[in-house]
């Protein structure tokens, strides 16, 4: 059958900026599927028989970015499965990817021409708020990286590797920035304004 070309919104922002929270709200109102690269990696890590589970686990704890071959194959598989189930579901929120130059090159190599990146939704949140939110969640979450030590590394990786990717998209007029420091509903109001216009 003739499948629609996937339409992708990359969702970026610091650790704890609210990417996952806002993506959950977006899919309730708009015909998008939420794919969190971090969630897919955590699932793969937990999967029995996974060949790269250990590697993924150590990268996540160290706040480092997993080699793109792993991430992109998980993303591709999830996109294909979604579209096979329902061909009308060809719009995707790809949350937490691409995070560095390696991710971007891997995406371009595999997906260029096979998917359209509509824009980058960027949740702009201060480092202090990001740390606070993750530590708060860390009190009762199973994430291995919501402790101070891992968080410092995640923040550093975000600033050194991910910000430059956002800046590259910015130069191409592709970034839609949302102030992510206010409460969940206020942030979502700004998100809605963007999706009503061009989602
Ligand atoms: N919260 C949310 N919004 C709030 C608001 N407006 N006001 C107050 N509180 C708010 O939210 C985080 C917490 O804050 C929650 O408790 C929430 O209730 C509260 P969430 O929506 O989960 O934020 P999010 O931005 O999704 O935070 P997350 O921790 O998931 O971000 P990261 O980017 O750090 O995590 P991710 O899962 O994307 O990646 C984890 C690791 O996986 C990476 O460090 C890396 O090692 C690896 N990874 C790769 O290697 N490659 C990839 O492509 C992706 C991940
Ligand atoms: Mg998340």
18 is in an annotated binding site: yes
DSSP string of 46-101, one letter each residue:
HSTT-SSHHHHHHHHHTTPPPPHHHHHHHHHHHHHHHHHH-TT--EEEEET---SH
Task: Return the bridge partners of 12, or none.
Answer: 122
pLDDT the model gives residue 1: 54
- Whether complex ipTM tops 0.90: yes
Residue 82, pLDDT score:
97
Residue nearest to atom 8 of ligand 1 (CA): 183
Residue 113, annotated as binding a ligand: no
Residues in contact with ligand 1 (CB, 6 Å cut-off)? 13, 15-21, 36-38, 41, 59-60, 63-66, 71, 96-97, 99, 103, 133-134, 137, 154, 183-184, 187
Q: pLDDT at residue 73 above 80? A: yes
For residue 21, give the 3-state DSSP assignment: helix
Nearest 5°: CA angle at 102, between 99 and 106? 100
Element (H, E) at 153: helix 148-157
Fold topology of 7-194: Rossmann fold (3.40.50)
- What is the rounded CA–CA span in Å between residue 174 and residue 180? 18
Listed by start position, the domains of the chain span: 7-194
Whole-model pTM?
Answer: 0.98
């Amino acid at each position: 059958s003739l499948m629609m070309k996937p339409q992708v919104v990359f969702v970026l922002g610091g650790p704890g900026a609210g990417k996952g929270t806002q993506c959950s709200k977006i899919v309730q109102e708009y015909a998008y599927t939420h794919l969190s690269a971090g969630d897919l990696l955590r699932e793969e890590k937990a999967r029995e028989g996974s060949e790269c589970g250990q590697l993924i686990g150590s990268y996540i704890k160290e706040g480092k970015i997993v080699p793109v071959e792993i991430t992109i194959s998980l993303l591709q598989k999830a996109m294909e499965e979604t579209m096979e189930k329902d061909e009308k579901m060809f719009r995707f929120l790809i949350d937490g990817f691409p995070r560095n130059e390696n991710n971007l090159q891997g995406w371009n190599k595999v997906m260029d021409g096979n998917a359209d990146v509509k824009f980058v939704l960027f949740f702009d949140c201060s480092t202090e708020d990001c740390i606070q939110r993750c530590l708060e969640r860390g009190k009762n979450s199973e994430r291995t990286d919501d402790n101070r030590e891992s968080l410092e590394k995640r923040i550093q990786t975000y600033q050194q590797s991910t910000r430059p990717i956002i800046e590259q998209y910015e130069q191409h007029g592709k970034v839609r920035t949302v102030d992510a420091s206010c409460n969940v509903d206020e942030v979502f109001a700004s998100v809605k304004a963007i999706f009503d216009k061009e989602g």
